[in-house]
Structure 1
């Protein structure tokens, strides 16, 4: 419809006034009557952060306010969670010694990017274990025995035989709790109140898969098969969780004495200052190794990492793909081989012992495409692309197909959704297998697929390369992230017994537990290691990842996407020195940058080291759809060669001068390696930097946004809002609507955002509560809506009839709030408010 647009929004629980949100904080509430009796809005959960040296006694000064303290996080974070309406939360933020009040935003439930059904007894987790050489550590008797690993996730199916089969003191899953209950979903107001109990049984499946990677011992073998687990369930069977719940779990893991904590979850596009990241940092200072997923938003470009992974002391883990993935298989007699497949969407999978009718080529099968074959009573073969799976499926069924086979239009296996089951199976196969089936159908062979319960290994096209989904750093403050990488694409591991016991899943959710298990191996070998030392050993010994977009060039994947590389457990165990820090932010600018690295010997003999450098690919241009450059920086060392005696520490000064032809706006990086003479282990650190003026990145620059819009409707299921353009001279009733919104696109993470309304007749200015450390808009057209009703809720009766404008101000990342040049501002055209 002309003048209308639909924008994605966050779930209902996120619609808080200017909430710092994971993705799209479209901030809207039902419109209250502005001139009615003051309504402070519904009670919500907020995280109140205190200043240094302050504690919960600060709130004694607010006894006249209506709020409830839910939890004091004094051990892991200097603050409390409270339940209060927005106006009360605003007043709490104005108390002395209160640093800020955070919205308790949603952590979206675990996403399964890749899934293959059961094939019991197939140990493909071993592929990933071999990649990190954890299997060699097992041969040495290093299996994680005596180490406690906490898994903060959907719980663990402790009845799984590979995970011990029981829960309690004498079991492998010995500690844990359910913080939320099976029905909990923080995204649903009716299900957002936790119902905790002492049983961390997993009904979602994700946590069991993660735990299996850490330490399964049975039909599959995890990285550390003799660890004991703490299971901390923070998700219900479906849906999302909250920062408050995650922080409660972190605190309990600390109380239970976990040595390592894994968080295969995260809040994308976030800052290191977010409470979950700061709480995770506190655990490391208490001696707990904290490992977290970097995030799965790699296709959204640079600065897409997640909290808590972007925490300063957290080990953030990127993902590489396994070489191959186990899939269910069908036998094709005409090819005399098995082809891997997976069901698309929630349709019924083919039954064992059945076969398809003969395959007939239908074509691309979009609505406007001509049929290229008669599929009535046959199995339809179609190719992926151009239109949705739903459209292809419905087209094939309408033409009488008895089953549908879709083959990929790009290398490798794939999955999909959005298909409503019409009683006809639809499955996906790889491009190579699909083309072979197409060639047979084209010559009249009419092949069939026979389902006999077999499985087959299918090559992954990015095997050994960075997974397409793995998120890019650096963090919005330019701090170096991720730290390391591990296999996360196509990992076969445990799932709840009722779900079939084993599945292949993909995500940084799967790479993170590889590193958590590796940390457990290091701690068994040397229990005296501090969290920083564990991270240093793993990062120093990591092996570089080639740039998978064009591997023939031999370039290395961006440092701000792989960290120092894929962990190597054996080299981490055997390291006789360390190079620190392992990840360096060289800042912004156009000239050379100088930083120091410290090399410390743990050797028993003197050893000579030589410093070398290898650049990694740089990202250039658009942060959301970056280009790439292999421009080589010039790197010098002082000294370049040095001798270390046992126990000695030496400092090396490194100077990096970016290449002259590297475009401004690029993020560049490289690997610095201290290579020992003889047969000792090399030690690697990595760095990244920004070429140009980081403050020059535009935040509010977009061809369509900011803009004024009227709210038309909200979809109750997707939470998407429909907006229309504001008509010239249109008036907006405070009581009856239509609701008015400023549509704002955040081109980069702003350090702060302020929104205000100004009365053009009186000069009065009414401001929303300011927010800081906001995420950026993920996609090129993803805007957020700042709704006028939010201001009405925060400031009842503050708006009166008259002519008004809205102003949005953003402080650029790393900007000085006292420098006007570091702010961007947009002011709307005038609009009229009536009673």
Structure 2
């Protein structure tokens, strides 16, 4: 899945400003310098009730404006290129303009994984094999649009054709072409006549849906497809990119061509107000089922689900690991003999982890004596493989330490039985692989007894069982949304998926990501529509959720938290055969300390219970059914320590802390309770409905200071007349145990941030002696532990008055800091500011003494209530 990592810096207001100023510039969306945007390129969104044509004429008549595209379908607006004389405020000031967005650039993020040629096995686990065998469903008559990097439609497993009679590819076009190359500074859009894939991502996604070959069998090969290419070729730096304006073009075209389903293995940002989320939500409202990837940042903890998957009504998909895979093994020679070990290799500049001749393995320590190697290594590792355990710092930091010591490669070993594909930064130039803890400890012990060598030919394959098969992939992003919405909605196989790839790149490849689980669910939707074309978008969405199977958390023995897995693993057979419908397939409980939240019953200031009314329908017109409710609590999760710092699990890319901590018995009041409070065992006649009232009690025994996110599943047992078996349907629910608005948005003070720093991130020891001039800039460095709707940074004079906003100005809808990607956010202090909130004119400030005022709105905070902001004021410094 490709994602945008957005570092959002937002202009600030001091306490002396009026409340009206807190919403100034609300029409103009800004991104910081760290977020790539297309220079002088903007997306203008009009209000839905506005005549887009007449407003478009107003824009076209403006001097120094070139219109790149006019969106005239779901999204009312335009993509424009503005000359240097055009102010953003001029665009925002046009009557009928709702928002003006910079044209944000996105980069693809996928990960290579173990080769897997046992794809039919996963189809058994999801009910697909059974439904094909019993009902022969293949998606025929359903139209699926794919917004991606294109497709190698000449691949024999994908039809070998384009828009000919009987061809699966009847729709689609290229919106970007092959000249879009960020490595060379080019954002030239020059579409080809067809959306041929030069990257590979779209062909891999297409195979999961449509393949009909000996090696890969797609979920819905009988459907009719459209490919809307919005991603560039892989450039010289290894990146694949696009921009918001192009993505929206592809989405609009998919809608215009009348697709029933649109599959988007795409992500970036983390709010429902992001442009792609807005368009996706409009598609859903107009009867199109949109399936989108939740994201690949699960190792960074909570609040990492991506747009557009969090758009209203969009089906957000998480990833579970495949049950087995075939890959190239690591052959290790120790004093006890040869050992064939499974491995996961990272993509680095050196390519795959291949050593065709035996190479010595060493187990180094860093200069502190630690085997985790988070500090420099003095040992000479020239020509050797460095064996390093996981923990205490990032994979890249370990690899750099080994690389600097001369290592030929790195073998990381996990802290548990499973392995993962480690994310490695591009500055690492040696191959890196990972093995599990048992194999790592075996090698480490053997090294202490004598020489150990390893080789990996890259040519021979061995099939391994995956002990994490059917469990959540560690990379799969967590919810909730910034408003505590429940995402992902459900999960599907996405870890280690073998699928088609462009013929020029080998025809087949295994990739991992929510990019892979998304088309799997899109295919499942196609089978449901084929079998039951009368169902609405909402009904299909509900069937998918309620028919999924909740996933057991191997650590606690309870269910996996819905903010991790959604409803659980998709079960296509259960969905197609379902005779059960519930009007609210997911329940977002919100936090438990807030008055006025829908559905929460407050006991004083503390809402211990939430009530929901559910309408359950019997879709069988011949037989009545009886319903009984069982409650399945899920493990609570947190990403915080009791002192409110981020857990080490987030920094070390480990599984988040849970409650219970293991399989021990815990007090009943430390887990949530779900029960029926009215009409608890209804008999529902054929084709009729019944109303059931549900009560959910939060885990009052858990300390609110530990910031637990709780959840569970309402499991409905349904039995129809004259049938001896029961069918099970589940409704996930989740919430926060406390007042979400009390969670600090800015990082804990123990982080040493916010701070004034040099460009390299080193703190400025005595800011009062620091002088900002044309040769010497300072920077504000800070971390966000949660997303924030408003982040602002202002330059303030000695009288406490705002002089203006720092370059990077005024920002909204920020994601939180992701430790795996960047250590902190930065904004420049260089003597220039934006005097107004729309950040349209940059001005130099007079010489003098100033300070920085940083304000970050906490979750669910009131924009106009200053007490809902985290505030930081810097020491004074001088601008010359």
1:598 aligns with 2:593: no
Distance 1:395 1:370 in 2: 15
Q: Please tell me whether the aligned partners of residues 578 and 601 of structure 1 are also in contact (alpha carbons under 8 angstroms).
A: yes
Q: Distance in 2 between matches of 1:151 and 1:581?
A: 28
| Cα distance change of structure 1 residues 277 and 42 upon mapping to structure 2, 3 Å threshold | closer
Separation in 2, partners of 1:16, 1:47: 20
- Show the counterpart of 2:68: 70
Partner of 1:583: 586
CA contact (8 A) 1:538 1:572 kept: yes
Q: 1:564 aligns with which of 546, 560, 567?
A: 567
Match of 1:748 in 2: 786
1:200 aligns with 2:195: yes
Counterpart for residue 91 of structure 2: 92
Contact 1:339/1:429 (<8 A) preserved:
yes
Structure 1 residue 612: Cα displacement: 2.1
**8 Å Cα contact 1:389-1:418 kept in structure 2:** no
The answer to whether residue 139 in structure 2 is matched with residue 144 in structure 1 is: yes
SS in 2 for 1:305: coil
Unpaired segments of 5 or more residues in structure 1?
1-8, 31-40, 714-720
**Offset at residue 264 of structure 1 (A):** 1.0
Cα separation, 2, equivalents of 1:502 and 1:60: 49
CA contact (8 A) 1:264 1:512 kept: yes
CA contact (8 A) 1:128 1:491 kept: no
* Aligned counterparts of 1:11 and 1:544: Cα–Cα separation in 2: 30
Q: 1:465 and 1:285 mapped to 2: Cα distance?
A: 32
Check if 1:709 corresponds to 2:756: yes
Structure 2 equivalent of residue 4 of structure 1:
none
Number of aligned positions between the proteins: 785
CA distance in 2, matches of 1:812, 1:404: 41
State the SS of the aligned residue for 2:193.
Answer: coil
Residues 600 and 85 of structure 1: is their aligned pair in 2 closer, same or farther, counting only changes over 3 Å?
Answer: farther
Aligned to 2:680: 640
1:694 to 730, 740, 764: 740
CA spacing shift, 1:825–1:509, aligned 2, 3 Å: same
CA deviation map 1:477-530 (0-9, x unaligned):
111111101111111111112222222211111111110110111111122322
Aligned partner of 1:466 among 472, 481, 491: 472
SS where residue 590 of structure 2 aligns? coil
Give the Cα–Cα distance (whole angstroms) in 1 for the partners of residues 308 and 482 of structure 2. 13
Aligned counterpart, 1:718:
none
Equivalent residue for 1:716? none
CA deviations on 1:349-380 (whole Å, 9 max, x unpaired) are 688xx9634x6553347688899xx9999986
Residue 104, structure 1, aligned to residue 114, structure 2: no
- The offset of 1:707, in angstroms, is 4.5
Aligned ranges 1:506-525 → 2 under 5 Å? 506-525=512-531
SS in 1 for 2:735: strand
**Mapped partners of 1:71, 1:277: distance in 2:** 19
The TM-score with structure 1 as length reference comes to 0.84
The one of 643, 647, 661 aligned to 2:701: 661
Deviations 1:419-444 (Å, cap 9, x if unpaired)? 9999x987665555566667777777
- Of residues 139, 150, 153, the one that matches 2:148 is 153
Q: Distance in 1 between matches of 2:568 and 2:309?
A: 16
User: Are the counterparts in 1 of residues 489 and 566 from structure 2 also a CA contact under 8 Å?
Assistant: yes
Aligned counterpart for 1:676 among listed residues 715, 718, 721: 718
Looking at structure 2, the residues matched to 332 and 295 of structure 1 have their Cα atoms a distance apart, in angstroms, of 35
Superposed, 1:720-731 pairs within 5 Å as 724=764, 727-731=767-771
- Alignment CA distance shift 1:804-1:51 (3 Å): farther
Shift of the alpha carbon at 1:458? 2.2
**TM alignment of 1:169-208, pairs within 5 A:** 169-170=164-165, 171-185=167-181, 190-208=185-203
Structure 2 residue aligned with 1:785: 827
Relative to structure 1, is the Cα distance of residues 680 and 256 closer, same or farther in structure 2, using a 3 angstrom cutoff?
Answer: farther
Asked if 1:80 corresponds to 2:78, the answer is yes
Matched residue SS, 1:116: coil
Are residues 816 and 316 of structure 1, via their aligned partners in 2, closer, same or farther at CA, if it must alter by over 3 Å?
A: same
- Call closer, same or farther: CA 1:821–1:451 in 2, change over 3 Å: closer
CA distance in 2, matches of 1:17, 1:192: 28
Indicate whether 1:607 and 2:625 are aligned: yes
Give the whole-Å Cα distance in 1 for the aligned partners of 2:717 and 2:192. Answer: 52
Q: Provide the TM-score with structure 2 as the length reference.
A: 0.80
Cα distance in 2 between the residues matched to 1:602 and 1:610: 17
Q: CA deviation at 1:133?
A: 1.2
Quickly say closer, same or farther: Cα 1:712–1:750, change in 2 above 3 A: closer
Q: Which runs of 5+ in 2 are unaligned?
A: 13-24, 372-378, 392-396, 593-605, 641-645, 651-655, 661-669
Report the Cα offset of residue 277 of structure 1. 0.9
Please tell me whether residue 388 in structure 1 is matched to residue 428 in structure 2.
no
> Which of 484, 491, 495 does residue 501 from structure 2 map onto?
495
Distance 2:146 2:39 in 1: 31
SS in 2 for 1:565: coil
The 1:365/1:666 distance shift into structure 2, 3 A limit, reads closer
Q: In structure 1, what is the Cα distance between the partners aligned to 2:794 and 2:444?
A: 61
The structural deviation recorded for 1:295 is 0.8
**Counterpart contact for 2:114–2:327, Cα < 8 Å:** yes
Question: 2 CA distance for matches of 1:204 and 1:514?
Answer: 20
Distance 1:129 1:332 in 2: 34
- Summarize deviations over 1:199-244 as a string: whole Å, max 9, x none: 2111211111111111211021111122232112211122322222
Aligned alpha-carbon RMSD (Å): 3.9
Displacement of 1:346 after TM fit?
A: 4.3
Q: Map of 1:62-461 to 2, 5 A cutoff?
A: 63-64=61-62, 66-84=64-82, 88-112=87-111, 114-116=112-114, 123-139=117-133, 140-170=135-165, 171-185=167-181, 190-218=185-213, 219-238=215-234, 239=239, 240-268=241-269, 270-329=270-329, 339-341=341-343, 345-347=348-350, 356-357=357-358, 360-364=360-364, 382-385=387-390, 388-389=398-399, 391-392=401-402, 410-415=416-421, 417=424, 430-432=436-438, 451=457, 453-461=459-467
Deviation per CA, 1:322-342: give whole Å up to 9, x if none: 122210247789868854456
> In 2, distance between residues paired with 1:409 and 1:697?
30
Over 3 Å counting, the alpha-carbon distance change for 1:70 and 1:459 in structure 2 is: same
Change (3 A) 1:438 1:706: closer
Once residues 68 and 581 of structure 2 are traced to their aligned partners in structure 1, the CA distance between those partners, rounded to angstroms, is 43
